[in-house]
Amino acid sequence: QAQLSLLDKIFDTTVEGIVITDTNGKIEKINPAAQRILGYTPVEVIGENSRIFKSDRHDLPFYADLWGSLKEKGIWQGEIWDRRKNGELRPLQMTITSLFDSHRQANRFIGVFHDMTEVRTQEKKIHFQTYHDALTGLPNRHLFLDRLKIALRHCKKDRKLAVLMVDIDDFKQVNNSLGHTIGDLLLKQASVRIRECVREHDTVARQGGDDFILLLEDISDIAVATQTMERITESFQTPFSVNGKQFFLTVSAGIAIAPDDGTEGDTLVSNADLAMYRAKEKGKNTFSLFTRELNEKLNRRLELSNRLRHALENDEFVVYYQPKVDTRQEKVVGVEALVRWEPEPGTLIPPNEFIPLAEASGLIVPLGEQILRTACRQGVIWHKRGFSVSVAVNLSPRQFAEQTFLATVHDALLDSGLPPSLLELEITETLMMENEDLAIGLLWKLRNMGIRISVDDFGTGYSSLAYLKQLPIDILKIDRSFIKDLPGNPDDVILTATIINMADCLGLEVVAEGVETSEQLQFMDEHGCLLIQGYLFSPPLPADQITELLDKPGRWFREQIAAGRSMDIPYEKDAPCE
């Protein structure tokens, strides 16, 4: 009796559903767990055939296998979809066993099962999360590459497919200045717009950050891809709206086509990426197609990158100096150290070509240190000869982020004996914005060492005015792009005048970079910008030629101005205009 009551209790309380039928499937007993899972009361099912639970999810062979296995082995195990009373389907993990009588004849079937719905939902969720981007719900790079692989395999002979790399322009700045919350909302809206510009079966994936990557399958012509990009560009012309405010975003994109530009997924993606960078170089808000020339450019970069590695060991870098002239005092008050790469005598590779490579590879750190030390030593030579010229050295963000950065600067000053007040470090607005917290601390430490800080290429980045007030900045260098079209371009006139005025109000020195003509000089003079750096006075030159310049009397400057641009500019003349 006790045994039976114990078994009953187990039958009633177990979380596993249990249904007992006779060998024809007529239901004899159903426990509370099974009632819950299937949604029936005992009265509704006892005496009925277990067929009432049957769903249409399985075909005949499935049931044939089930019955066959029960007959042969007395057991069947597997996942089965059953229908609840309200019509819903449920995946059940099921074990059906036969009970035998004393003649070894089956006389009962016992189904023991539990509901897998939650497990399946959870699995689906995890699967989704593995292959999708949480913010936008779009496929991620992983899923994209999978789809691309399959699409490449199924690409028909006379058809093509396109990979589009789409990047939102200057999104980092959007994030930095508006905050990530708004940045995220904008990204979401952008993803919807991009999605609306492609066909139903095309893939739009988010790579992370502000990078989207698109797959257009089965297209007849490259024009399908360019038209898609035109649609996207156009759809971005309508401003985005977040919290009642309007924002304008643009995108740059690169397109690679299979099989023309590659037949492997990786190649296509990196070629599209390359084309995208080309679009950025062209001035953003545009797209470009991958081309052979781009590939050659890539190869040249790779080659340079390889040679660069040995260049430092082989002592192939030279530091040139460009004078900074004070037009009132009529003398050179400072120089900027500008590195050149001389792989063999007579060829000079300009910094714009190799600094980005050195930054990417990390070589900029030891290279930057070498430049700093060289410049400090040279500064001391001039100082000892009685010239009071400051030496400005450009810093790359990578150097700045180095743990040992301060110690390096300290060392360079100590080793050379250069008074810290004669050293200027040039940083960019981007450097300040990207390493916000780090920048504030480091800049103050540099200032406390007595070093002066200048903001290079001012006006091309996104520094906020608050920064200029808050950071220990001494000098603003107006970027050459503003000076170039002076005094003819009214926008540049206003901008330059404003920068000079602002610097004045904030008590900062202001330097005009890239002054080439006497008209530009006159403009600067009229607007009260006295510090001039540019070809009008001198291009960057080797140290000994600078020494000659320093020896020249004030008269030289007047002559220089009268002659307009008269210096012979050996290397800069041939320098490719990026």
- Pick one of 140, 203, 378, 396: the residue that binds ligand C2E (CB under 6 A): 396
- Decide if residue 390 touches Mg ion (CB under 5 A): no
Tell me which residues in 347-376 interact with ligand C2E (CB under 6 A): 350-352, 355, 368, 371
The least distance separating ligand C2E from the CB of residue 463, rounded to whole angstroms, comes to 15
Instruction: Specify the residue, 255 or 338, whose C-beta has the smaller distance to Mg ion.
Output: 338
544: burial class by Cβ within 10 Å (0-12, 13-18, 19+)?
exposed
Residues 6+ apart with CB under 8 A from 251: 166, 167, 168, 169, 190, 232, 233, 236, 285
310: burial class by Cβ within 10 Å (0-12, 13-18, 19+)?
exposed
- Decide if residue 509 touches Mg ion (CB under 5 A): no
Instruction: Specify the residue, 279 or 476, whose C-beta has the smaller distance to Mg ion.
Output: 476
The least distance separating Mg ion from the CB of residue 477, rounded to whole angstroms, comes to 5
Tell me which residues in 456-475 interact with Mg ion (CB under 5 A): 456-457
Instruction: Specify the residue, 109 or 537, whose C-beta has the smaller distance to ligand C2E.
Output: 537
- Pick one of 20, 148, 190, 338: the residue that binds ligand C2E (CB under 6 A): 338
- Pick one of 37, 204, 339, 476: the residue that binds ligand C2E (CB under 6 A): 339
Contact 513, 532 (CB under 8 A): no
The least distance separating Mg ion from the CB of residue 460, rounded to whole angstroms, comes to 9
N- to C-terminal Cα separation, the chain = 95
Window contacting Mg ion (CB under 5 A); options: 142-150, 392-400, 459-467, 558-566: 392-400
The least distance separating ligand C2E from the CB of residue 409, rounded to whole angstroms, comes to 14
Instruction: Specify the residue, 108 or 280, whose C-beta has the smaller distance to ligand C2E.
Output: 280
- Decide if residue 426 touches Mg ion (CB under 5 A): yes
CA–CA separation, 51 and 21 (whole Å)? 11
Window contacting ligand C2E (CB under 6 A); options: 119-127, 237-245, 298-306, 514-522: 514-522
Window contacting Mg ion (CB under 5 A); options: 144-152, 208-216, 423-431, 546-554: 423-431
CA–CA separation, 518 and 522 (whole Å)? 6
Place of tokens 């003079």: 525
CA–CA separation, 24 and 108 (whole Å)? 9
Instruction: Specify the residue, 154 or 300, whose C-beta has the smaller distance to ligand C2E.
Output: 300
- Decide if residue 514 touches ligand C2E (CB under 6 A): yes
Q: Which residues pair with 512 in a beta bridge?
A: 478, 532
In the chain, the largest separation of any two C-alpha atoms, in whole Å, equals: 126
Tell me which residues in 461-500 interact with ligand C2E (CB under 6 A): 480
Q: How many alpha carbons lie under 13 Å from residue 90 in its C-beta half-sphere?
A: 22
Instruction: Specify the residue, 329 or 352, whose C-beta has the smaller distance to Mg ion.
Output: 352
Task: Name the binder of 334 from Mg ion, ligand C2E, none, CB < 5-8 A by kind.
Answer: none
- Decide if residue 457 touches ligand C2E (CB under 6 A): yes
Nearest alpha carbon to residue 430 among 388, 399, 396, 392: 396
The least distance separating Mg ion from the CB of residue 533, rounded to whole angstroms, comes to 9
Tell me which residues in 185-224 interact with Mg ion (CB under 5 A): none
Task: Name the binder of 254 from Mg ion, ligand C2E, none, CB < 5-8 A by kind.
Answer: none
Q: How many residues bind ligand C2E (CB under 6 A)?
A: 26
161-180 mask for ligand C2E (x: CB under 6 A)? --------------------
Instruction: Specify the residue, 138 or 376, whose C-beta has the smaller distance to ligand C2E.
Output: 376
Q: How many alpha carbons lie under 13 Å from residue 364 in its C-beta half-sphere?
A: 22
Q: How many residues bind Mg ion (CB under 5 A)?
A: 5
In degrees and rounded to multiples of 5, residue 214 shows phi and psi of -115, 145
Instruction: Specify the residue, 133 or 457, whose C-beta has the smaller distance to Mg ion.
Output: 457
Residues 6+ apart with CB under 8 A from 112: 16, 17, 18, 94, 95, 96, 97
Tell me which residues in 524-563 interact with ligand C2E (CB under 6 A): 533-535, 540
Instruction: Specify the residue, 263 or 352, whose C-beta has the smaller distance to ligand C2E.
Output: 352
The least distance separating Mg ion from the CB of residue 507, rounded to whole angstroms, comes to 21
Nearest alpha carbon to residue 313 among 378, 363, 359: 363
CA–CA separation, 161 and 18 (whole Å)? 54
- Pick one of 456, 486, 503, 510: the residue that binds ligand C2E (CB under 6 A): 456
The least distance separating ligand C2E from the CB of residue 413, rounded to whole angstroms, comes to 17
CA–CA separation, 107 and 101 (whole Å)? 6
Contact 505, 518 (CB under 8 A): no
Q: Where are the beta strands (DSSP E) in 429-559?
A: 452-458, 475-478, 509-513, 531-533
Window contacting Mg ion (CB under 5 A); options: 113-121, 418-426, 438-446, 547-555: 418-426
Neighbours of 276 (CB within 10 A): 25
CA–CA separation, 575 and 552 (whole Å)? 28
Place of tokens 């959870």: 122
Tell me which residues in 293-332 interact with ligand C2E (CB under 6 A): 322
CA–CA separation, 393 and 423 (whole Å)? 8
The binding site for ligand C2E (CB under 6 A) comprises 322, 337-339, 350-352, 355, 368, 371, 394-396, 426, 456-457, 480, 513-516, 533-535, 540, 572
The binding site for Mg ion (CB under 5 A) comprises 394, 426, 456-457, 513
